[in-house]
Amino acid sequence: MALSAVESLLQKARNASQEDIDHLCKNISDLLAFPEKASECCTLLRQLFVLLQASDIEPCLSRNLVMEMLKTFSRPSSEKSGAKQCLLCSLILKELLPGSEQGTKNNCVQEILTPAVRWLCTKDLDSQRKALSFLVAVSSLHGVAYQEFAGETSEQLCSWLMSASLFQAPNPYAINPFRKDQDSQVTETDGTPCRNFFTVLNIGQYYTDDQYLNIYSFSLLYKWLYHCSRHSEDGDQQEGKESPKGKTKDSVVKRILQSLVSRSADYCFRVMDQCERKAKVASDAELQLACLTEVVTILDLVCKLDAGQVPRVHQEMRRLYNRLASDPGYSATVLRILQFFLNHSSAVVHDPQEAYNHFFGSVLSQQYKDPGLAFDTVVFMCQNLSTLCLNTNILSHFFPNILKILAWHPRTFVKEFVDLLPAMMSPTTSLEIFHTLLDLPCLTAALEVSEKSKKPDTGATNGQNTNVEPASSAEAFHTPRYKPLFSFICRSEGGQGDTINKLSNLHKVLEDVKTSARVTCCSQVVPVLLRVWFNVVLAEGDQKFVEHVLPVLLERSGLLYDIPDCKADVIMIMGEQLLQVVDKYPSIMVSQAHEIIEFIQITNNVRDRQDFYGNLVYCIGEYCSPQRSDSCGPELVAKYFDMLEIVTYEICGNVMLEEDEQGETFPKILSHLMSAMAKLATRRQDVIPRAILCLTKVAKQHFTLTQDPIAQEALLACAQEHVNLLKMPNFAVTVLNPPPEIYTGRWHRDAGSLPLILRGINRVMNSSS
């Protein structure tokens, strides 16, 4: 019921016309000038704001009203009654004037900067913090483009950070403001008196202005440092790295930030120390967590800006890492420390491999479910993609763990994983990754089962009896026989073998979870990533690797976790990609002939994967030829032909016997088989009579092979055309087995080419008849 109200309200606002707006505006300007009617006016102003946010039309407000609102907005804030009006006016104006955020009007920025810096030095807290946040915002758009202002701001930040008073402000709500509080010094979070300079983690009953500014300064410190330094880098790149101008700019940044950088480091170390204290209040303990993350981030940047700080900071970081590494509550900070190690360890000859292993091994396998940590990890990998690939083996070694993030949050990180997947693939891991991708929904299911089993109420612990089949996935999870299967699919490191023998058992036992929302969602991701995988293989894989891929394709096309939509998509993609793979490396038709023949011979393989099967038959006809691959001899052609012949007879026989539901699939497969046979026959002409015999048989039977009249016709046509061609072997060779020049286009341009001559003759014959 609560929502129908919103809906109607917003609907009304959305459908508002310009007249409605005009009407509203008129009423507002009538009321705006009268302080006694503030309440009514506020109601209207609220309506106007909601309308502006919700409506799709481009609103038009009268110039007068805008001016009046500006006036109200800039009225001195001492008029208490107008505070709400003022707030609402500012909201409306902000909505209406998105401002030249792009900030090209440099002069305009320049003009405001002077007063802004002046405001920093006033004694009014409000102006000071507004000015600071404005200056930081300017730096985020322009960096240190305005050096003189940046220098002053940095100095001001320094002093606010380091020299806030240690005494509490008097209670502003006290009746007697002159009464001195007894214990007026600020304390640490654990209640002990503060013995060092003031930071965000010092507790006082009330804070003085300079203490608030200290809090502000620390909150904005990273952004200030980051934007000032980042924009100088951008400048360097644009102006060419070696240009003297770039260098001076760099030194400008150094000069501007120098003292602030070392002060920031001091402040961060102090906060780091303070985080070791046990906070009395729970929310302060949370704040310590956020502070630690921030401090590590700032120190990372500090070391980038001033390499001289690295040894000192690095030592502290290692200490911090040792303290936090085993505490799951601090994983976000630990990841930040890894970022620091990644950036600076080489400078102090420290090998952080162990830290990487710890995080991507044990931490991630326990905390992949945490949305925050999952996000942080994905961002970390995306931001450091090239460094991670060049200097570490994290991605290729821990990909099973990393993919757990995707398996558990299949909706959130698809785009990022599309970028990450190629980085995980190496010649040694790619096949294993292929299996892992195909089993990704299975991984989701297994993770869900293991998650459920952690809850006490499932009580499926009577798994000791190994002979009884488990009734559910939860029971199987506790059955010793299935334990290894679960631990394989949920493994955290790669390289323990591509896949396992009893995969189908695992699929079967996870049947009851396959309808879960998460599994379904995950199964929709698989095709996307599979395409990425194939693209990488086609672009970078070599022949040797592809030779390994083909048998896996044949095997896995029939061994998939049974989610119908996903299965169909996966098989379709496999079929499509098979064509491309074979087209690039035709010789695998020779080297993998044994596997292929074994696969095609089993006509049952047509079931559920007719396109894949059909494409493979097509590949035999098209690519098993000496033209495509030098090693393809006549014996192999004969072998393939024998097999196709047998399969064709078998399918014809089966169809007649079964009259089964697959009636629709067989005509297509039969057409593929006939074309392939005809093509092979042109390469080994002694089998032509057998081919003609087989095709004639199909032609004769065409009306018993399927009920569909169109398919019957197509079958008959296909068979007859091929028979007719094969009766003229020389033509058949050219048509069915064209030389590669056909693809260069010469055939269609050269005056002497066969198609042109044929077309010419055809035209002459037609015109004469």
Partner 1 sequence: MVLAFIITTLNGDSPLVLYYQIYGQVVSSKDGSSTDASAECVRRARKRHVARIAETVHSEYQFRREVNNLTPDEDIQRLSNDDTLPDFEVGHFLTSVPVIDESLNLDVARNDQESQHVTWMGAGLTGFILLCDACENRVLAGQVLRLLVRFLQEHVRVLSQPSEVATRVDRVAEVLERVLPDGNLLFMNHRVVRHIEKELDTAMKTAP
**Minimum gap (Å) between residue 201 Cβ and partner 1:** 6
Is residue 105 a contact point for partner 1 (CB under 8 A)?
A: yes
Q: How far apart are CA 187 and CA 172, in angstroms?
A: 19
Lookup result for tokens 């991630």 = 364
Contact pick of 19, 63, 78, 102 for partner 1 (by CB under 8 A): 102
Instruction: Give CA angle at 238 (235, 240), nearest 5°.
Output: 105
Task: Tell me the window of 214-222, 651-659, 722-730, 760-768 that interacts with partner 1 (CB under 8 A).
Answer: 214-222
| Helical spans, DSSP H, in 557-664 | 564-584, 588-591, 593-601, 610-623, 634-658
Q: Name the DSSP letter for residue 566.
A: H
Q: How far apart are CA 444 and CA 505, in angstroms?
A: 16
Q: Name the DSSP letter for residue 363.
A: I
Measured from the CB atom, the residue of 38 and 431 that comes closer to partner 1 is 38
Q: How far apart are CA 290 and CA 701, in angstroms?
A: 77
Q: Name the DSSP letter for residue 167.
A: B
- The interface with partner 1 within residues 264-323 (CB under 8 A) comprises 281, 283-284, 286-287, 289-291, 293-294, 297
Tokens at 377, concatenated: 């990890």
Q: How far apart are CA 487 and CA 456, in angstroms?
A: 20
**Minimum gap (Å) between residue 236 Cβ and partner 1:** 17
- The interface with partner 1 within residues 220-239 (CB under 8 A) comprises 220, 222-223, 226
Contact pick of 26, 75, 130, 254 for partner 1 (by CB under 8 A): 130
Of 233, 307, 291, 225, the residue nearest 260 (C-alpha): 225
List, as one string, the DSSP characters of 439-450: THHHHHHHHHHH
Is residue 502 a contact point for partner 1 (CB under 8 A)?
A: no
- The interface with partner 1 within residues 3-62 (CB under 8 A) comprises 3, 5-7, 9-10, 13, 38-39, 42, 46, 49-50, 53-54, 58
Q: How many residues of this chain interact with partner 1, rule: CB under 8 A?
A: 89
Contact pick of 100, 315, 353, 515 for partner 1 (by CB under 8 A): 100
Residues 6+ apart with CB under 8 A from 126: none
Measured from the CB atom, the residue of 50 and 646 that comes closer to partner 1 is 50
Task: Tell me the window of 132-140, 475-483, 556-564, 583-591 that interacts with partner 1 (CB under 8 A).
Answer: 132-140
Task: Tell me the window of 410-418, 465-473, 643-651, 680-688 that interacts with partner 1 (CB under 8 A).
Answer: 410-418
**82-111 b/e with 16+ CB inside 10 Å = b?**
beebbebbebbbeeeeeeeeeeeeeeebee
Residues 6+ apart with CB under 8 A from 349: none
Contact pick of 516, 685, 720, 753 for partner 1 (by CB under 8 A): 516
* 3-class state of residue 199 by DSSP: coil
Is residue 173 a contact point for partner 1 (CB under 8 A)?
A: yes
- The interface with partner 1 within residues 704-743 (CB under 8 A) comprises none
Q: How far apart are CA 305 and CA 712, in angstroms?
A: 77
Dihedral pair phi/psi, residue 123, rounded to 5°: -105, 10
**Minimum gap (Å) between residue 352 Cβ and partner 1:** 22
Q: How far apart are CA 105 and CA 165, in angstroms?
A: 40
Instruction: Give CA angle at 422 (416, 428), nearest 5°.
Output: 140
Is residue 188 a contact point for partner 1 (CB under 8 A)?
A: no
**Minimum gap (Å) between residue 511 Cβ and partner 1:** 19
- The interface with partner 1 within residues 189-208 (CB under 8 A) comprises 189, 200-207
Measured from the CB atom, the residue of 24 and 606 that comes closer to partner 1 is 24
Contact pick of 21, 65, 69, 129 for partner 1 (by CB under 8 A): 129
Q: What x-and-dash track marks residues 615-654 binding partner 1 by CB under 8 A?
A: ----------------------------------------
Measured from the CB atom, the residue of 198 and 612 that comes closer to partner 1 is 198
**Minimum gap (Å) between residue 683 Cβ and partner 1:** 49
Measured from the CB atom, the residue of 194 and 736 that comes closer to partner 1 is 194
**Minimum gap (Å) between residue 296 Cβ and partner 1:** 10
Is residue 457 a contact point for partner 1 (CB under 8 A)?
A: no
* Amino acid type, 516: S
Measured from the CB atom, the residue of 1 and 539 that comes closer to partner 1 is 1
**Minimum gap (Å) between residue 442 Cβ and partner 1:** 17
Measured from the CB atom, the residue of 145 and 644 that comes closer to partner 1 is 145
Q: What is the dihedral of CA 271, 272, 277, 283, to 10 degrees?
A: 60
Measured from the CB atom, the residue of 524 and 601 that comes closer to partner 1 is 524
Q: How far apart are CA 713 and CA 718, in angstroms?
A: 9
**Minimum gap (Å) between residue 9 Cβ and partner 1:** 5
* Amino acid type, 623: Y
**Minimum gap (Å) between residue 100 Cβ and partner 1:** 5
Contact 287, 323 (CB under 8 A): no
H or E element in which residue 400 lies: helix 399-408
List, as one string, the DSSP characters of 58-101: -----HHHHHHHHHHHTS-TT-GGGHHHHHHHHHHHHHH----T
Measured from the CB atom, the residue of 415 and 544 that comes closer to partner 1 is 415
Q: How far apart are CA 115 and CA 122, in angstroms?
A: 10
Measured from the CB atom, the residue of 100 and 346 that comes closer to partner 1 is 100
**Minimum gap (Å) between residue 532 Cβ and partner 1:** 16
Is residue 379 a contact point for partner 1 (CB under 8 A)?
A: yes
- The interface with partner 1 within residues 561-580 (CB under 8 A) comprises none
Lookup result for tokens 């917003």 = 10
Contact pick of 308, 372, 459, 634 for partner 1 (by CB under 8 A): 372
Measured from the CB atom, the residue of 518 and 722 that comes closer to partner 1 is 518
Tokens at 109, concatenated: 């920025």
- The interface with partner 1 within residues 535-564 (CB under 8 A) comprises none
Q: What x-and-dash track marks residues 458-497 binding partner 1 by CB under 8 A?
A: ----------------------------------------
